[in-house]
Amino acid sequence: MNNERQLATFAAGCFWGVEEYFRTMPGVVGTRVGYTGGKTDNPTYREVCYNDTGHAEALEITFNPSEISYATLVGHFFEMHDPTQLNRQGPDIGDQYRSAIFTHDDAQAEIAKAAIVEYGPKFKKPIVTQVVPAGKFYEAEEYHQKYLEKRGAPSCHIKR
């Protein structure tokens, strides 16, 4: 059995709902919400929401590839949000809510790009999801971690 751990990093709107969607999947061994894809070092939630940091609210997933594949995670990513909305998800508007896959190697980039081709016909509008190399991931403040679980909320606007 392969006990190797890998990372997957997704931005699909408000990170609370994205984390809640993925955190209990078999094979997902850890999650943390944070900020990535921007230019500001050590950003705060307030800076990401109200300043031009360029960061997206994102979820970093640690997973065991012998239990769940990266391709399966990417498939769930496309099913759990609307990847055709540019810089928004539902009521949340701004580039911090963009749809993005931050890839950790060339294999992940190939899988993500192939998924865009595969899932594209399922939507009425073109997919606008960015596929970009993962950069530094800044963990969000503690109160954001497992936010919906802590509050007993079932989800936010994320599709189920």
- State the catalytic residues: 14
Q: How far apart are CA 147 and CA 128, in angstroms?
A: 27
Q: How far apart are CA 151 and CA 124, in angstroms?
A: 35
119's tokens: 């899932």
Among the listed residues 122, 86, 95, 98, the one whose alpha carbon sits nearest the alpha carbon of residue 18: 98
Among the listed residues 73, 50, 43, 38, the one whose alpha carbon sits nearest the alpha carbon of residue 144: 43
Contact of 96 with 49, CB cutoff 8 Å: yes
129 contacts: CB under 8 Å, gap ≥ 6 = 78, 83, 99, 100, 101, 112, 116
